[in-house]
Structure 1
Amino acid sequence: MTIYSRADLGWRHHFALQCGEITEPDAARLTGIDRDRVSALSPDGPLVLTCPQGLSTGELAVGDWTLFDPDSHRIIRRLEPFSAIKRKAAGREARTQLIAANVDTLGIVTSCNSDFNEARLERYLALASSAGCMPLILLTKADMAEDPDEYRHRATALSPLAVAETLDATDPGELSRLSGWVGTGQTMALVGSSGVGKTTITNGLTGASDLTQDIREDDARGRHTTTARFLKRTVSGGWLIDTPGMRELGLADASDGIAEVFGDIEDLAAACRFNDCSHESEPGCAVKAAIDSGELDPERLKRWDKLKREDRYNSESIAETRARARSLNKLYRGGSARAKEKRRIE
């Protein structure tokens, strides 16, 4: 059995501060999540932990650090992560879903073919920024593209935050260029559509041999091969979280991330004559002037506006759902207290 130190597992001062005067806490990092329990790694080896009353596995994410009782193997509390990747839950349900926690780098995987999509990449970049991790765009199938550098330039032009690498994910030599992003104690999470090479990258960086699926010729997409999230050790000493291909990536509470990715438009909007400028026909609109001069692509403006409206709607819906839940909890607690008092009197 391989034994890892807390530093190997990604422990840092951020977590030690949350433990107060406890210098050697019983702490473990979550490597997988099931419905009623979680798998984890500690300096003493692998563990299976259960949740206490009031904490569900849905409130935890792969990559989380938790304190636990070494006798009962029950989680005591979740330590606040330094980064948390989350999205609006798929479907109509108004809640956020944790994808991964304590991630240093978000590896955004797309291909040098028809899967490349500026709007989707901007969405992932905003997700990374709002989560508090570094975005790295991985452009796979570069060996099949006529001009892979064109895709790289298009990717880095989307945001000053964007760093992009073109690679053939099946070539171990090219994958070795990523070792600096997943060195000792470092964690990368991979996101992207199905069939773009996430599993191939995972296999190359971890030495695993998970099955991959061929892509469809007509749309460069593939079937899902990853169905759950797990924290996996990389051959260079870090950690990797591969995620299932997500059909929906709704942003919520991501206004800061959107502002970072679209900093050029945010700066222009701040220079408009009117604070509530809609950037359509108002006089003194710096955004419209930039479009007229060719400085700003009108399609980029549309994507910015769409993401802002989506984030605002989702954030308001989730906030309303939380407020209703709090009101119901107060009502239930009040009713329970009155019932107990009535029984005491009787």
Structure 2
Amino acid sequence: MKHLTLADLGWSNHFAAQIADDPAQSNLVCRLSSVARDRLMGLSPGAEHLLVPPSDMTTGQFAVGDWVITDPTRQKVTRRLTPLTELTRRAAGTGAEQQLIAANVDTLGIVSSCNADFNEARLERYLALAATAGCLPLVILTKADQADDPHSYVRRAERLSPLVTAIALNATEAEDAALLAPWCKTGQTLALVGSSGVGKSTLSNALTGGEVATAGIREDDAKGRHTTTARGLHRTRACGWLIDTPGMRALRLSGAREGVDAVFADLDELAKACRFSDCSHEAEPGCAIHAAIETGQVDPDRLRRWRKLQAEDARNSETLAQARARDKSFGKLVRSVMKDKDRYRR
């Protein structure tokens, strides 16, 4: 790490502007390379630092890829700089909390494969995540060597959105993995997301020269086991940065309405021509989207997936207070029903 500069680590004018009133703080910045339950690891030119969060924050309020200001001893974070891009999802459970996935990612590599794992609905979900965060989306289709026509998968992926760049490759071939170098060169950060068993760890090894454990997949459904268990920031052979993430069983979107509509820009544009501004695109007269479906211009499944993501995002974007109020009301209803049952039993 001795020869790295702040620019090598991904520092830009976006972050410099946040310390413009005290430029000397540039000597106290670190980029987080890992986030654990009770500690943080940060990189600065020439060194790696074990850090703890401020007393009024938890490590869960930081993400791999974050830029932070530390105290002079570099043992404690004093400030998190506003990220340029931020990948989040709604945390598991009934709460409305957001879970940070990664920060300051330039390109989101959405990894699928040229087999049964390929799923348009899942890809659209990840594309909406990228659009919401402000990252460039790159669909990486692995196991191209095992498919009769890997380019058919590329075409299917690129049809999902004008935002998509798709590439098919064999992750086990170093030359193929090197095709990703333009997205993780000096100062650039590529994050890999996708299901388990699609080759993220294999790609990570090829791009970084590391030795992350890999595992096979089940033949019946092309699904695999988790091999990456934690997010980390790693230097790539192309002198950029890679964030590999554990396979996600569920990606719950929240606050992603604009991202969803960006992925489905064709439908969003058609909807503006509907006769009614509040058209639900079901059976209303003058629905431009249904007219396009009837002429074969739009796949009805695409409309269904768009509406499903919109509804999910609206539901998941409710505030924590709203979520608690809803749960409280439901709890009252359950108690009332149980009380009535007890009364009838008597």
Does 2:131 correspond to 1:148?
no
Does 2:10 correspond to 1:10?
yes
Q: Is the 8 A contact 1:139 1:152 kept in 2?
A: yes
Opposite residue 274 of structure 1, the aligned amino acid is F
Aligned to 1:234: 236
Aligned to 1:123: 125
Q: Residues 287-342 of structure 1, C-alpha deviation per residue, up to 9 Å, x if partnerless?
A: 11011111110000000000000000100144635999xxxxxxxxxxxxxxxxxx
Aligned to 2:92: 90
Residues in 1 aligned to 2:304 and 2:160: alpha-carbon distance in whole angstroms:
14
Residues in 1 aligned to 2:321 and 2:70: alpha-carbon distance in whole angstroms:
31
Q: Is the 8 A contact 2:186 2:240 kept in 1?
A: yes
Q: Is the 8 A contact 1:191 1:198 kept in 2?
A: yes
Opposite residue 166 of structure 2, the aligned amino acid is A
SS at match of 2:204: helix
Q: Is the 8 A contact 2:2 2:45 kept in 1?
A: no
State the shift of 1:280 in Å: 1.5
Q: Is the 8 A contact 1:96 1:318 kept in 2?
A: no
State the shift of 1:91 in Å: 2.6
Aligned to 2:203: 201
State the shift of 1:52 in Å: 1.2
Q: Is the 8 A contact 2:228 2:247 kept in 1?
A: yes
Residues in 2 aligned to 1:195 and 1:41: alpha-carbon distance in whole angstroms:
30
Q: Residues 248-297 of structure 1, C-alpha deviation per residue, up to 9 Å, x if partnerless?
A: 10000001101100001101111101011111211111011011111110
Normalising by the residue count of structure 1, what TM-score does the alignment of the two structures yield?
0.91
Aligned to 2:309: 307
Opposite residue 291 of structure 1, the aligned amino acid is I
State the shift of 1:135 in Å: 0.3
Residues in 1 aligned to 2:9 and 2:318: alpha-carbon distance in whole angstroms:
36
Aligned to 1:179: 181
Out of 188, 197, 200, the position equivalent to 2:190 is: 188
Aligned to 1:252: 254
Residues in 1 aligned to 2:95 and 2:142: alpha-carbon distance in whole angstroms:
34
Out of 275, 279, 283, the position equivalent to 2:285 is: 283
State the shift of 1:3 in Å: 3.8
Normalising by the residue count of structure 2, what TM-score does the alignment of the two structures yield?
0.91
State the shift of 1:210 in Å: 1.5
Residues in 1 aligned to 2:64 and 2:83: alpha-carbon distance in whole angstroms:
11
Residues in 1 aligned to 2:18 and 2:323: alpha-carbon distance in whole angstroms:
29
Q: Residues 19-47 of structure 1, C-alpha deviation per residue, up to 9 Å, x if partnerless?
A: 02322321000000111210010114100
State the shift of 1:164 in Å: 0.2
Q: Residues 126-171 of structure 1, C-alpha deviation per residue, up to 9 Å, x if partnerless?
A: 0000001000000000000000000000000000000000000011
Out of 267, 270, 284, the position equivalent to 1:268 is: 270
SS at match of 2:309: helix
Residues in 2 aligned to 1:36 and 1:4: alpha-carbon distance in whole angstroms:
27
SS at match of 1:24: helix
Q: Is the 8 A contact 2:95 2:323 kept in 1?
A: no
SS at match of 1:151: helix
Unaligned segments of structure 1, at least 5 residues = 325-346
Aligned length: 324
Aligned to 1:107: 109
RMSD, matched Cα? 1.5
Q: Is the 8 A contact 1:140 1:167 kept in 2?
A: yes
Q: Give the percent of matched residue pairs that are identical in Structure 1 and Structure 2.
A: 57
SS at match of 1:280: coil
Residues in 1 aligned to 2:142 and 2:322: alpha-carbon distance in whole angstroms:
41
Residues in 1 aligned to 2:151 and 2:321: alpha-carbon distance in whole angstroms:
43
